[in-house]
Chain A
Amino acid sequence: MKNFSKWILDFFVPLGRWCRFTWQSLGWAVRPPFRFNNFFKQLEFIGVQSIPIIMLTGLFTGMVFALQTGKTFSLFRMQNLVGSTVGLALTREIGPVFTALMVTARVCSAMAAEIGTMRVSEQIDALQTMAVDPLQYLVVPRVLGCILMLPLLTIIFNFVGIVGAYAVGTTLLDIPAGPFLHHLYWYVDPEDINGGLIKAAFFGFFIAMISCYKGFLTKGGAEGVGRATTGAVVASSVTVLITDYFLTTWILEYYSSHNF
């Protein structure tokens, strides 16, 4: 019983602190001065610099997915459905989740390490003493940057993934280009794409908030920075996978109740 209550406290106390941190950051997001320079720097770092890795992972994800589904579907002579299957899986699930995981690995680890280093070297305290709120200066641009760039990166991931699937489907699996594209066009609806992009925006919010929070909590020099970085990547990745289920449930429910 004692262990159970300790476990409950260990889970809910940090969660409560994170909620308070998030609430305060949101408060600073709507309060001037708006730091457009910092925001655009983050857009460049989170978005533009992530494009190569997103294209690479998107391409190979689409290719391997087409290969696996193509081989399985060929048992039932349904290879023509590879395009639609890959399209639906990418736009609804794989695109937003993989993009979020790649951004977590590349961007969020850097965020936690950068903010953590600033914390242990008193640079965050220096910001405060210069009457600059660190939440507004450091957290808000990163969170807004992730919310905006995750959906855009997801679009790139989806597109490149489908191109990879098309290449494998039409060359290795001998699926004619016409049926491949026809089924893709026929089965993938705008709400599939929109649902994925909404999820990506939520993932962006969560992973940026978690990484910045972990960075802010850093204590104890280089070792502390390492711990914060690892913690940020693990917590962000797990959060992406858990929230994905709940967001999917909500999005499916929303679309079915609106007769899409």
Chain B
Amino acid sequence: MIKITDLYKSFNSFEILKGINLQIPENKITVIIGPSGCGKTVLLRHIIGLLKPDRGRVSIDGVDMNALNRVKQNKLRERFGMLFQHAALFDSMNVFENVAFPLREHTDLDESSIRRIVLEKLNLVGLKEIETKMPSDLSGGMRKRVGLARAIALEPEIILYDEPTTGLDPIMTEAIDNLILEMQGKLKITSIVISHDIPSSFRIADQIAMIYQGKIIEVGEPNVFRKSSHEVVQEFIRKGEGK
């Protein structure tokens, strides 16, 4: 389980996170929503240890990521996969090399096994015969799917998705949502999705949390979350669903 306790973070004296408390249950999809600039991505970066909190802690199965040295942090990160907002594919490598990268870094598999796994993961995200293409030749949706194939290459226990559907058309958004649900069904992983797409969030989430002005103002299962008495939550849902 991932437990976030009393997390504070400021940038240049501007306070972004003001005491976040949240528990992420195992093998479930938790969607964190909130308006732009409220600190969703900052929170995600704390979970994987890319940022150090000013105060508070993020613990993964009781281990505080920020209390570890860099070597131990890297060991802990092997349990994670992350899909970045713009996929963050290595632009000097083709699709195959991008997906093979974590396998080459962390396993002793031979080239034929790596090839088999890469093709399997690309197949899983619905991509075929694009291994030799460079990231610059791909559309936004394809880049995200390659990013997802790379994130699941090592079959991690936890996957973080940073706004996976932002900038995509409705059909591609639904495809990515289905992909997240499919991953969840097949791999039994803990997923944390950052989003401000309300319909998409209700479609995939087991738990939804909302950040507003640096704090979690509501958290619960989708049907509980929908009935929240918090005015901001209700307004966010209403506007998100276009009502």
Contact surface of A with B, Cβ cutoff 8 Å: 31, 117-118, 121-123, 125-126, 128-133
Q: Collect the chain A residues with CB atoms within 8 Å of residue B160's CB.
A: 129
- Checking B48, B70, B91 against A129 with a beta-carbon cut-off of 8 angstroms, the contacting residue is B48
- The 9 closest A-B CB pairs, nearest first, are A122-B88, A126-B88, A131-B77, A131-B74, A129-B82, A131-B78, A130-B102, A122-B84, A123-B88
Once bound together, how far apart are the Cα atoms of A132 and B88, in whole Å? 14
What is the interface of chain B mostly: helix, strand, loop, or mixed? mixed
Task: Report the interface size for chain B: residues with CB under 8 A from the other chain.
Answer: 26
Task: Judge if B50 is at the interface, Cβ distance under 8 Å.
Answer: yes
Residues of B at the A interface (CB closer than 8 Å) are 45, 48-50, 70-71, 74-75, 77-78, 80-82, 84-86, 88-91, 101-102, 105-106, 150, 160
Q: How far is the CA of A125 from the CA of B41 in the complex (A)?
A: 13
Query: B157 CB to closest chain A CB, in angstroms?
Result: 13
Task: Give how many A-B residue pairs fall within 8 Å (CB-CB).
Answer: 50
- A-side contacts of B74, CB under 8 Å: 131-133
Instruction: With both chains docked as a complex, state the minimum distance between the C-beta of A134 and any C-beta of chain B, in angstroms.
Output: 11
24 residue pairs bridging A and B, Cβ less than 8 Å apart: A118-B90, A121-B91, A122-B84, A123-B89, A123-B90, A125-B50, A126-B84, A126-B90, A128-B48, A128-B50, A128-B77, A129-B48, A129-B50, A129-B77, A129-B80, A129-B81, A130-B101, A130-B102, A130-B105, A131-B77, A131-B78, A131-B105, A132-B74, A133-B74
> Do the beta carbons of A125 and B77 come within 8 Å of each other?
no
From A31, A118, A125, A132, give the contact of B105 (CB < 8 A). Answer: A132
Contact A122 B105, CB 8 Å, known A130-B77, A131-B75: no
**Bound form: Cα–Cα A123–B70 in Å:** 18
What are the residues of chain B within 8 A of A123 when measuring CB–CB? 88-91
| CB closest chain-B residue, reference A33 | B105
B79 to chain A, nearest CB (A): 9
- Give A217 Cβ to nearest chain B Cβ, in Å: 15
CB distance from B62 to the nearest CB of A (A): 20
Bound-state Cα–Cα, A132 to B160, Å:
17
Complex CA–CA separation, A130 to B147 (angstroms): 12
Q: How far is the CA of A117 from the CA of B82 in the complex (A)?
A: 19
Contacts of A130 in B (CB 8 A): 77, 101-102, 105-106, 150
